[in-house]
Amino acid sequence: MKKIKKYLVLPVVLVLSISFSLEVSAYKFNDDNNRFFKCSTCETAYPSYSWGDNMGGSSVIKSAWQSAVSDWKSKQSKVEFVYSSSSDSKLHSFHSTDKSLYGEMRWTSDLLKFVTKFNGYINNNANNITTTNVARSTANHELAHAMGLDHVSGTSVMNSSRDRATIYLPQTDDVNGINARYPVFKNNVLDEPILNKESDYNINNLSISSDILTFNSLEQMASNADVIVLGHFNHSKGTINMLRDPNNPKEESTLGYQKGLIYDFEIDEIISGNVSETMIDIGLRSDSDYLFTDRDGNENKISIDNPLFKSPNTSASYILFLSKDTNLDMYFTPFEPFKLIVDSQNKVNVETNLNEFQSSIEKSYEFEDTKEILNVISEAHYNWIDNISGTDVSDVKNIIKGQRMK
Ligand SMILES: [Zn+2]
């Protein structure tokens, strides 16, 4: 009897605790625990913003930011973004040839984890960005990063595999996250700053988190790529600035640098799409520049890694899902993942960093002249599940062809 009881009790407890934790707090806070300043007895934080790069006139991106500011305001009362032309925090539009990159939020925070400055970016060249509500979904996502939320799975604007056309407003889980991040206390409560008393250095934190298009199925991948090819990579042969002038994408942007490594790819078989060449150029985003202004007012250029960059194996055979950039006559990433390695048993393995980053990339820079340290966190938690590795190449091709004939 005793033995049976033990076995019965354990599974019940496990089931209860799993469903409890899923329902109560699916939202997550960023690794650096950032938030906007609000006094501990106050109800609302009022961060200010102004317009940044490429925001003159009206555009899909500008209206997306404007909608997101009012979307968040109507959903909760803890954070209200306020326009101020003199604000250092800016909302931008940019053009990147990486179509999987919807947007990015970069923020700096102080020792109390309060956000000192934020810069939000939306890519006007991302996959289906002009489809109704897609840019707005990205804007709501990016503002939530600045407010303190990290990526999650489930029904949330913080889910990178959400349908951006339908999940574009802050969801219940997102609102619960913000309410939890900004509690109101009866008495003033001060956070203990984590000070390194040995050091007289000023410590700055910079965090970056992106909204990336991710898919879990071959069907989704097949219907969202321009071309699908089998072949192999040659060595990297140069670099390109993937940030382009939004008004003339043939020219590179003068406002920033997003490094793409260019690879020659030799095509053995075109699985789907129109390609006339047997050798194509593919640009993979590896890192981007950030200008850090030190205490003397000097701008220091540092590089921020793309946590999803994985350099291709030049001796492997790949199936690639690509988007064609007609301005540059080159191919780029339409979504993540986009590379399948074919193994010796003719099965595919997804090559991606999506499932490897349980924590984020952290780097530290020291500026001796001004006695400052810049800690950089590239956040990369994408809750991606691999449903594809292990599929036979012939099945992959059949799924692709079946999907593309629909
Ligand atoms: Zn994100």
Chunk the chain into consecutive blocks of 10 residues (it has 406) and report each block's average pLDDT, rounded to whole numbers.
Answer: 34 39 71 91 96 93 98 98 98 97 95 92 96 98 97 93 96 97 83 56 88 94 97 93 96 95 97 95 95 91 92 96 96 97 97 76 88 88 90 97 86
150 C-alpha vs ligand 1 centroid, how far in Å?
A: 7
Report the separation in Å between the CA atom of 213 and the middle of ligand 1, taken as the mean of its atom positions. Answer: 10
Whole-number Å distance, alpha carbon 184 to ligand 1 midpoint, is 26
State in Å: Cα 35 to ligand 1 middle.
15
How far apart CA 158 and CA 353 sit, in angstroms, is 19
Q: What DSSP character marks residue 311?
A: P
State in Å: Cα 245 to ligand 1 middle.
24
Question: 168 vs 25, 67, 156, 362, CA distance in Å?
Answer: 20, 10, 9, 30
Tell me the β-bridge partners of 115: 109
Measured in Å, residue 103 CA sits from the centre of ligand 1 at 8
pLDDT at 361: 76
CA 210 – ligand 1 centroid, Å: 4
Measured in Å, residue 316 CA sits from the centre of ligand 1 at 31
Instruction: Give the distance (Å) from ligand 1 centre to CA of residue 218.
Output: 23
Q: Using CA atoms, how far apart are residues 169 and 319, in angstroms rounded to an integer?
A: 35
Give 198 Cα–ligand 1 centroid separation in angstroms. 35
Task: Measure 344 CA to ligand 1 centroid, in angstroms.
Answer: 36
Q: Which residues pair with 320 in a beta bridge?
A: 229, 339
Task: Measure 324 CA to ligand 1 centroid, in angstroms.
Answer: 25
Return d(Cα 117, Cα 100) in angstroms, integer.
26
* 95 C-alpha to ligand 1 centroid (Å): 18
Q: Would you state the pLDDT for residue 19? A: 42
Query: Which domains does the chain show, CATH number per domain?
Result: 29-201 (3.40.390.10), 203-404 (2.40.50.120)
Distance in Å, CA 60 to ligand 1 centroid: 19
CA 172 – ligand 1 centroid, Å? 18
Strand partners, 149: 29
* 154 C-alpha to ligand 1 centroid (Å): 14
Ligand 1 centre from 282 Cα, in Å? 25
Q: Separation of 215 CA from ligand 1 center, angstroms? A: 15
What's the whole-model pTM score? 0.88
What pLDDT is attached to residue 382? 83
Instruction: Report CA(139)–ligand 1 centroid distance (Å).
Output: 10
Return d(Cα 361, Cα 376) in angstroms, integer: 8
pLDDT, residue 57, reads: 86
Distance of CA 380 from the midpoint of ligand 1 (Å): 8
Report the distance separating Cα 318 and Cα 231, nearest Å.
5
CA–centroid distance, 391 to ligand 1, in Å, is 29
Residue 362 pLDDT: 83
Centre of ligand 1 from the C-alpha of residue 102, in Å = 9
What phi and psi values does residue 82 have, to the nearest 5 degrees?
-125, 130
Residue 218 burial by Cβ neighbours in a 10 Å radius (0-12, 13-18, 19+)? buried
Closest CA to 244 of 255, 229, 233, 230: 255
Residues 6+ apart with CB under 8 A from 205: 32, 108, 109, 110, 374, 375, 377
Task: Please give the distance, rounded to the nearest whole angstrom, from the Cα atom of residue 141 to the centre of ligand 1.
Answer: 6
What is the Å distance from ligand 1's center to 207 Cα?
11
